[in-house]
Amino acid sequence: MQQTKTGTTDAGLRTGGRGRLIGLVVVLAMVNFVVDSAITAPLLVLPEMLDHFGTDQAAWLNATAMLAGVMWAPLLGKSADINGRRKVLVLTLLLSCAGALVCAVAPSIWVFVLGRVLQGAALAAIFLSVAIVRGACPPRIAMIIVGIVTSGSAVLNIASRFLIEELAMEFGFQILFLVSAFVAAAMAICVRGVVPESPIRTPGRIDVGGALLLGGGLAGVLGHVSLGPDFGWLAVGPLALLVGGVAALARWFLVSSRKPDPLIDVRNLGGPLVLTLLVVFLAAGSYQSMLQLVPLIGDVSADQRLGYGLADQGSVALLLAAPGVGVTLGGPAAGWLAARIGPASTLAGAVMLGTVVTIGMFLGASQLPVALCCGFLLGVTVGALGTSAFNMAGGLASPERQGIVSSLVMVMVSIGSVVLNFVGAAVLESTAVVVDGETTNSATGVFSYIAIASGAFAIAAVLVVLLVRSTRLGHGPAVSSPTR
């Protein structure tokens, strides 16, 4: 295949001027707000959902959408390259809308889980938005806009938390899914009217079988990791997920290696893209695991003399708000830097910052001002990390492969989040202590948790240095079809 420089855009500035460009940015930023309403916002009403369905299996209600997103991502990414990114983004939003409506009226937990599987398609909206931006704008402008689009809705997400809590208390948890359905439908209409369609198409057909094998295999393995602690590692359900997932992945690898046009040709991904994906897996997973730890630290008082705790030092609610503010700033700043020093160097800076800040949580576990500072800087890290990773992966792909390559970044974010969250939870559970008749996390567990997250960031830092060196030696980013 003839090489295509990534400086070529598929639509140029077809947005028709500054006003249309602003409209494009606003719509795509709101599309990413839909992702939050579908994937993470339901955690706000998790206790109410458990009571409504009469179950204690939070994992089924919580993890299903994320795991389904891993399955949807490669299929929708490939479909976008073949059929058009705008068209598939509209389909993604409509699937999320349908899933939210199913969840709102679900009479049983299993119907609700089916709705969450459909809602998981919303995860694809993130990387599809990135692919659309890279196709509609010149590279230097696209790097900045990617940061705004992927991070700009963070503050809105924080504000919506308070509104959702009030609405749920008044009307029940179902109102969250009705709101999510309404927003998804409205954004589908806006995308159809504002976002330009790409004229570039990838010749070929959608390998539906390969996509289902890959997505289903990943979802099965991650489902075992996510559900094992609640159901038991050797219980029939989680064990069946593991065996089925491994078998599906093995079958996908064997079949794909013989196909002339596979969904992803793992033999020809290219060193820089593999390094980028590994960095994303470790760094994004580490950040998500630290975010999981924050409320656990915030619920413990220093008066309990466990060696950590922030509950008696002020408003711990700020700990959960600080990362959101950091994300809003980190994404656009990373895009601006990437346009000047390159996405690889920007990604390296984000990983180095994340490593230092995560280590700082050893002190932040017992001092609120330090924890607030670390929370804010971790938000900056994740905003810069996501923007830089998408810009880096997009730069390693030809224009007709933006969808599938961007989907790989989202898949690695999801895998890293599930795996590192589980590892951290397992460490806390294995080191818990009993204080005044109640089981609580020990200082050993908390600081071991932070050490694991710091170690993951440190490994990512080593890999990102190798990535920067490889790009300086001329192995990226203008390469052709890394997924072929």
The alpha carbon of 251 is separated from its chain's Cα centroid by a whole number of angstroms, namely 26
441: left (phi over 0), alpha (psi -120 to 50) or beta: beta
Where does the pLDDT of residue 395 fall: very low under 50, low under 70, confident under 90, or very high at 90 and above?
Answer: confident
Domain boundary among 157, 172, 204: 204
Here the tokens at position 69 are: 């997103």
What is residue 217's predicted lDDT score, i.e. its pLDDT?
87
Contact 56, 139 (CB under 8 A): no
Residue 1 above 60 pLDDT? no
Do 193 and 273 reside in the same domain of the chain?
Answer: no
Q: Is residue 437 part of a domain?
A: yes
**Assigned domain for 65 exists:** yes
- Section 322-326 average pLDDT: 83
122 & 235 share domain: no
44 is a domain residue = yes
Domain shared by 199 and 52, yes or no: yes
Please check whether residues 237 and 384 belong to one and the same domain.
no
Domain presence at residue 2: no
Average pLDDT, whole number, for the chain?
83
For residue 310, the Cα-to-chain-centroid distance in whole angstroms is 28
58-86 confidence digits (pLDDT tens): 666 767 888 788 788 888 888 888 888 99
Whether 1 is covered by a domain: the verdict is no
Give the C-alpha separation, 105 to 112, whole Å. Answer: 8
Q: What is the pLDDT of residues 81-104, one digit of tens each?
A: 888 899 999 999 999 999 999 999
Question: Which residue segment(s) compose the domain that 237 sits in?
Answer: 208-260
The burial class, CB within 10 Å (0-12 / 13-18 / 19+), for 260 is exposed
- Residue 64: what pLDDT? 80
Residue 104 counted as domain residue: yes
* φ and ψ at residue 305, rounded to 5 degrees: 55, 45
- Across the range 333-341, mean pLDDT stands at 91
Q: What is the pLDDT, as a whole number, of residue 181? A: 94
Note the pLDDT of residue 138.
84
Is 428 found in the same domain as 474?
yes
Average pLDDT score over residue span 242-270: 82
Instruction: Note the pLDDT tens digit of each residue in 103-141.
Output: 999 999 889 989 999 998 998 998 899 889 888 888 888
Compute how many other C-beta atoms are within 10 angstroms of the C-beta atom of residue 232: 12
User: Do 121 and 220 lie in a common domain?
Assistant: no
The band of 314, judged by pLDDT with boundaries at 50, 70 and 90, is low
379 and 252 fall within a common domain: no
pLDDT(478) > 70: no
172 and 145 in a single domain? The answer is: yes
Q: Distance between alpha carbon 482 and the CA centroid of its chain, in Å? A: 22
Say if residue 128 is in the same domain as residue 115.
yes
Do 431 and 328 sit in the same domain of this protein?
Answer: yes
3-state secondary structure string, the chain?
Answer: CCCCCCCCCCCCCCCCCHHHHHHHHHHHHHHHHHHHHHHCHHHHHHHHHHHHHCCCCHHHHHHHHHHHHHHHHHHHHHHHHHHCHHHHHHHHHHHHHHHHHHHHHCCCHHHHHHHHHHHHHHHHHHHHHHHHHHHHCCHHHHHHHHHHHHHCCHHHHHHHHHHHHHHHHHHCCHHHHHHHHHHHHHHHHHHHHHCCCCCCCCCCCCCHHHHHHHHHHHHHHHHHHHHHHHHCCCCHHHHHHHHHHHHHHHHHHHHHCCCCCCCCCHHHCCHHHHHHHHHHHHHHHHHHHHHHHHHHHHCCCHHHCCCCCCCCCCCCHHHHHHHHHHHHHHHHHHHHHHHHHCHHHHHHHHHHHHHHHHHHHHHHCCCHHHHHHHHHHHHHHHHHHHHHHHHHHHHCCCHHHHHHHHHHHHHHHHHHHHHHHHHHHHHHHHCCEEECCEEECCHHHHHHHHHHHHHHHHHHHHHHHHHHHHHHCCCCCCCCCCCC
pLDDT tens digits for 259-301?
A: 777 777 776 778 899 999 999 999 998 988 888 788 788 878 8
pLDDT category of residue 6 using cuts at 50, 70 and 90: very low
On whether residue 219 sits in a domain, the answer given is yes
HSE-CB of 251 using CA atoms within 13 angstroms: 16
Judgement on whether residues 229 and 198 belong to the same structural domain of the protein: no
Q: Is the dihedral of CA 402, 408, 410, 413 positive or negative?
A: negative
Domain annotation covers residue 393: yes
pLDDT tens per residue across span 184-200: 999 999 999 888 887 87
- Tens of pLDDT, residue by residue over 346-359, are 999 999 999 999 99
Residue 226 and residue 119 share a domain:
no
Task: Find the CATH number of the domain harbouring 137.
Answer: 1.20.1250.20
483: pLDDT strictly greater than 50: no
Structure tokens at 113: 């889980």
389 CB burial (10 A radius; 0-12, 13-18, 19+): buried
8 Å CB contact between 79 and 159? no
Phi and psi at 428, nearest 5°, equal -65, -40
Report the pLDDT value the prediction gives residue 283, as an integer from 0 to 100: 94
Provide the domain count of the chain.
3
